Structure 1
Amino acid sequence: MKRIISIKGTEEEIIEICERISKLGIDYSFDAKANYAENRAYNSARIKIFGDEKYKLVEDHKNILTIIDTVHNKYNADTKGLFEYKLNDLKYPVNKDLVLDTLSALKINFKYLKDENVIKCERKIEEINRILKDILDIYSELNFYNIGSKPVKNVLTLAVYITGRDIDELIEEGLEKELFREEDEKIVLNKDINLTRKELLSVKK
């Protein structure tokens, strides 16, 4: 028995769909080709799924359709202009709270669907990845400082990225304003995290 699914998309979409299907461990074949219409190039593919058991074939078919839908939403905006991707699709390992705080601070229109761990965002995933690369570089640099907790690292990372100021300057500013305090030779939070974030993001270079 077999089922056939036909799809169209950019080369990037087709490649990612193929890569994701290859991880399912199912019996299938994948034929893709480039097409041209009205001076525009697009790619199409035919996916053939094979199986001896009907219920397994139906399940594999459903899983592949889910993959196609997920990848399509990642690269194509919906009617509200939002792209959709899971947090674990992001290229750089930045913690969820810092990702969401960064999008908010940059005034990027987005929604976070907690149950699905999905972001619906007006920016393409490539743009978000470029931002997160810089965020991760700053966050990693903070490993050389005695920072007491993740929320403090998050707020300092974001403040450095948004204001362009040095880490040492912002730590000193936070201590002077009593947003932070030193405890057991570590920098820890001394006031509400939201107030601390607001104060440090407003610091001018």
Structure 2
Amino acid sequence: MTGQSTFFVELAETAAMLEKASRSSLVALDELGRGTATLDGAAIASAVLSHMTHTIGCRGLFATHYHHLSAEHARDPGVAIMHMACTVGGGDDDAVEATAPAKDDAMATVEDVTFLYKLTPGACPKSYGTNVARLAGLPAAVVARAATVAAQTQGDATRLSTEQQRALQDLAQLLRGQPEAGDLVAAQKRVVEAMAA
């Protein structure tokens, strides 16, 4: 596959695996979709996971950092959601296994995370990418800035998601009844505005 992008090669290899896989196969995929834009990568990863479990019916190991896939497939009987455990805390006395999101102090996750390399049931409670950046030797100022940007971005994404959900819930509630045309148009406009914001 000379002259092909890394992403193209990744998808060609995935296509070959899916074509040859059967119910008795074990398919391992690591970070599928990482070579493209986040939304496209996440969509491809989700579709491939669904295809593996529902169309092929094979067993697989599917490692991803697309956290929303855990929620998307949480009720899927063909998917067991697991994560690699870690402890968050400054020492043995105050270290606790991370099973819920840490407080909003982004620097705590940079300084005080220890990876346990232990497979644990459930979704990973949050990302510890800035800690990995620190362990990899990025300058402290870069890691601190990354932690700040990550915290701000997460806050923006959460707020936007809440606004979108509220607009969609209002529209759904309206559609359950017999809405007036003007009310329906106004509700649809709020949904469009929330999605565009």
Q: TM-score range by the shorter chain?
A: under 0.3
Higher CA-based Rg = 1
Normalising to structure 2: TM-score of the pair? Answer: 0.25
